Amino acid sequence: MSFELIVFDWDGTLMDSEARIVACLQAAFADLGLAEPTREVARDIIGLGLEEAMERLLPSGDAALRAELVVGYRRHFLVSDPTPSVLFPGALEMLDWMTGQGYRLAVATGKSRQGLDKSLAETGLGRVFHATRCADETLSKPNPRMLFELMDELGAHPDETLMVGDTEYDLQMASNAGVRSLAVSYGVHSPGRLLTHEPLACLDSLRAIQDWLAEHSG
């Protein structure tokens, strides 16, 4: 296998942000006097765009109410919630190694552009990515448009592209785009769910991704 472009999901793959996302979702519901989603329910929608996530969390609500929830979530996430989000161990080392190997790197995320830019600035990782796409500027996973746009921008073909993610939405998007995928088992969705989408491997750390590429990609 020979990969030129590696596309990463952000939350749950590069950044350990589950606790903050869940807290902000629950706070947004509480602000409007709605029953808060449980942790398990809230974490299951991580990876989707906010509008799609709210549709799943509140299927009986109208569009105006879901829009209020989106605004409330963003306010908590970007401004008021103190729950820390940190990179998973080995993220910087792995990305620097990939850069040194000549890979083109990209991000495809359910985050908003404002949210991703904030995370890239805080972590200093903006320097390593050649392109990024967010759910509020294209279509949410598992629609393949994010990957199509990234491949078009960076001049990569599907058979040269690898998607890395922690949810079945990432793997479904890859499959819909004709792109191969790697799953990581330390994020939101269980290995059992991930393996049903036939990734090339399901790995337990970022260092394991580096080792896998060194062995399998030539």
Q: Which residues contact 124 (CB under 8 A, 6 or more apart)?
A: none
Residue in 11, 16, 44, 166 annotated catalytic: 11
Residue in 9, 16, 136, 166 annotated catalytic: 9
Q: Identify the residue whose tokens are 């590696």.
A: 6
Respond yes or no: is residue 166 known to be catalytic: no
Respond yes or no: is residue 11 known to be catalytic: yes
Alpha carbon 117 to chain centroid, angstroms: 14
Question: Catalytic residue numbers?
Answer: 9, 11
